[in-house]
């Protein structure tokens, strides 16, 4: 279902966590998800993640194929494709992605690492020291 969002153009969004929704834990999904409410925990997404303007995400680590942020995020963002920070975004955490777009007015506190070879980057792969 295509729906016009505050994030910009009409996008195909499979699931929406509404403004009155508050969740905590580990969130995993394969399609696309828009958060309009509050989420606390880690996110592992094989699809696209949209964090709407009034949404609050307090996560240790947020991993997705692509991430668009217009709301507030506290935690690290990792995307295989891109991270886009809209003008209303507030991100407190590190960003690691192949592509990064930051609009005027964004509040960003953290480090940024650009992935050189996006074809070989897998944000879901465990770092070498964690493999057993």
pLDDT digits (tens, 9 = 90+) for 80-108: 999 999 999 999 999 999 999 999 999 99
The set of residues, in sequence order, having a beta carbon less than 8 Å from that of 53 and lying 6+ positions away, is 6, 7, 70, 71, 86, 88
Of 51, 57, 47, the residue nearest 26 (C-alpha): 57
What per-residue confidence (pLDDT) applies to 14?
A: 85
CB 2 within 8 A of CB 10: yes
Give every residue of the chain whose pLDDT is below 70, as ranges.
Answer: 1-11, 117-132
Report the pLDDT value the prediction gives residue 13, as an integer from 0 to 100.
87
In this prediction, residue 9 carries a pLDDT of 46
pLDDT at position 103 = 96
Tokens describing residue 53: 């303007």
Backbone angles phi, psi at 128, to 5 degrees: -55, -40
**Given the DSSP bridges, would you call strands 72-85 and 32-35 parallel, antiparallel or unpaired?**
unpaired
For residue 60, the model assigns a pLDDT of: 84
Q: What local confidence, expressed as pLDDT, does residue 39 receive?
A: 96
Q: What is the pTM of this model?
A: 0.81
pLDDT recorded at residue 20: 92
Cα within 13 Å of Cα(89), Cβ side: 25
């Amino acid at each position: 279902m295509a729906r016009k969002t505050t994030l910009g153009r009409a996008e195909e969004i499979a699931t929406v966590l509404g403004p009155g929704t508050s969740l905590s834990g580990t969130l995993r999904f394969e399609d696309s998800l828009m958060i309009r409410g509050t989420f606390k925990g880690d996110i592992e997404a094989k699809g696209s993640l949209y964090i709407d303007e009034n949404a609050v995400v307090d996560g240790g680590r947020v991993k997705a194929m692509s991430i668009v942020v217009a709301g507030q995020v506290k935690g690290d963002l990792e995307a295989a494709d891109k991270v886009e920070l809209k003008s209303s975004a507030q991100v407190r955490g590190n960003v690691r992605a192949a592509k990064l777009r930051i609009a005027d007015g964004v509040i960003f506190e953290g480090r940024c690492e650009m992935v050189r070879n996006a074809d070989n980057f897998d944000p879901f792969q465990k770092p070498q020291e964690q493999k057993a």
